[in-house]
Structure 1
Amino acid sequence: MAALEVSITNDLEKRIAEAFEVFDHSGDKTVDVREVGTIIRSLGCCPSEAEVQEVIVRVEDQETSGSVHLAQFLPVVAQIISEYKLQPASPEELLKAFQTLDKENKGYLDREFLTKAMMEEGEPFTQEEIDEMMAVAVDPVNGTIPYEFYINQIMINIQPNIYSLIPKVEEVQKRKLGEGLIESDLMK
């Protein structure tokens, strides 16, 4: 396969490339296609498995099936993020979801009840995902999940949101476009 050029022109693309490179174990700007979901999630995006599969269809290398090159991955994921797709739920959306499950308005959920709901409703969580959540969510004193506290915990631990880079990228693009227009006017 011919070497593909990768041009990184802004902070958003830099963050995507850095996340990709963590999984590029051979240093050839490729990753195993099975890592695509993990890379996207490491950026703070929240795709469903179906959405991950849609991305894979767009980025998988046709010559070497099973791999993804950064040159194919970068523009697709940058576009998805620039369109504000795959964003995590807001604290308000999370609270509403927990309150919907809390039929008795207790302010907490039982571990067993939430585990069952997460494994049987919507897109099922894996046991590993549930274990990770429960490690943070469960009150060690009474074994319940006080969901407002849990929501606050996960919001504190979120790294700077990748979607916050979009306005800066758009501003730079507008400035470059304006400079291009000025240059073309000078050429007349």
Structure 2
Amino acid sequence: MADDKEREGTELVIAEFHKKIKDAFEVFDHEANNTVDRDRNNYQVTRVLPKRMESCMTLIVEVEEEEPTGYIRFEKFLPVMTKVLLEKRYRPIPEDILLRAFEVLDPSKRGFLTKEELIKYMTEEGEPFSQEEMEEMLSAAIDPESNSIRYKDYIAMMVVDDG
């Protein structure tokens, strides 16, 4: 009986990981064909996580085709990332830290940033995003109806529970 409950719990964790992995993968799957451009998207990952560049490169090699095409297919990416998450190889940034970072940009505590504010912060502050990187983030983060990012919802979509 305990084994059944444990198995069900593991299956739920894996299902949640699969959903989060798929959601994150789709942000970079610009042609909606279950592939991402290895070089273009690896640059973005390693730019954000420079200390883990070697680890990122190793992970990319694990999911790339036997004969490199420059693209990573979702069906190869999913099992590798699931294993990484189950093994807790990389410690995710806690949700509360991400929330505090967004709240610094939103001193009025409105719970959102406008598209214009987000563009200003991401292109004029710190290490600026390129136009292409900005467009990718906007396509994933901005609600087209309100033309803003409700950052709590965005964080919830992007964070994998480390529980």
TM range (shorter): 0.3 to 0.5
Larger relative contact order, structure 1 or 2 (CA cutoff 8 Å, min sep 6): 2
Larger radius of gyration: 1
